[in-house]
Structures are given as C-alpha cells and as structure tokens.
Amino acid sequence: MSKIRNIADFPKPGILFKDITPLLASPRAFHIVLDAIAERFIGEHIDAIVGVEARGFIFGGALAARLNASFVPARKPGKLPAACDEVQYETEYSVATLEMHKGSLAEEARVVVVDDLLATGGTAKAAAELVRKQGGYVVAYAFAVELTFLGGRERLMPVKVESVIQY
C-alpha cells in the first residue's frame, strides 16, 4: 500500500493532490522519511530549521530535534503573537503571505527550510526571504515529497534541495 494518497480535484478541479496523511499514520514510514532527510545533514552545522505552515511543522520540528537545531515556524498572517517580518508570494493557487517572528534567527544563522512537499517552490522561496530578512543563510531546502514536473527545484537553485519521494 502506498503511503502517499492521490486525491483528485483538490483543492480545485484539475489538481491531483498528494496526501501525506497515510505516511504520517505509519510510524515506520514517518521515521524512515525523517531519517532519510536528517542523514543528509549529518556533519553539517545547522542552526535552525524553518518549518512552513502547516505540514512543514510536522517534519520541521522532528528534524530540528534530530539535528539539535532550533525550530522556527513560518506562519500564515495573524497566527504569531509578537512583531513579525512578512513576505508576500505567489502560490500555485493564489497570492499568500508568510510571517516569522522578528529576531527568530541569529545573524548569519545556517538554516534549512522544511516543508512536506515541493511543487513550484514559491512557498519555500518566501520562507527563504524571511530567513534573509533576519540575516540568516538558507543552506538547504528539505521536503518529504517533490513534484519534479513542476520545476520547483530549479527555482530554488543554486541552494541544495533534498527530497525523499519524487513524482
């Protein structure tokens, strides 16, 4: 049985959504994916993991614990209680905004941006812009799933892009 479920016409007609909830429901599969990402950063100095709302929190928090790095959430507007940096960006479906608490990253922090899925790369690029606004460096992007046919990896280059499952 596949741990990634296809959902037709979600969130809008013509989209084949890759649902990761079966992967998350399998402790073994989830552990394997997390370890596959973490092992790619063994021996590297990583200060922080920036996880993108909402599924990026699931992978990002667990990855931060494995890499002994801080976890910093990049959230939708109005979800963080203190002063925030923000950036607007285009998604596959709309225009969106991401926010991150000001002062979340130390100057010159080495950061990995984490999300569940890489599609066009717009959301990951927006998170990277928040990292740069705070004086950090994105040393890599990491995803559980990558939709290679949408070209997100190319949009994130020359920064290293890691993914475990590719379609």
Q: Is 86 a catalytic residue?
A: no
Catalytic residue (choose from 40, 53, 92, 155): 92
Residue of 112, 99, 32 whose CA lies nearest to 70: 112
| C-alpha span between 10 and 81 (Å, rounded) | 31
Annotation says 107 is catalytic: no
Are 121 and 152 contacting, i.e. CB atoms less than 8 angstroms apart? Answer: yes
Which residues 6+ apart lie within 8 Å of 4 measured at CB? Answer: 18, 19, 20, 22, 23, 145, 165
Which residue in the list 55, 75, 110, 153 is annotated as catalytic? Answer: 55
Contacts of 113 (CB under 8 A, 6+ apart): 49, 50, 52, 74, 124, 127, 128, 131, 138, 140, 141, 142
List active site positions.
55, 92
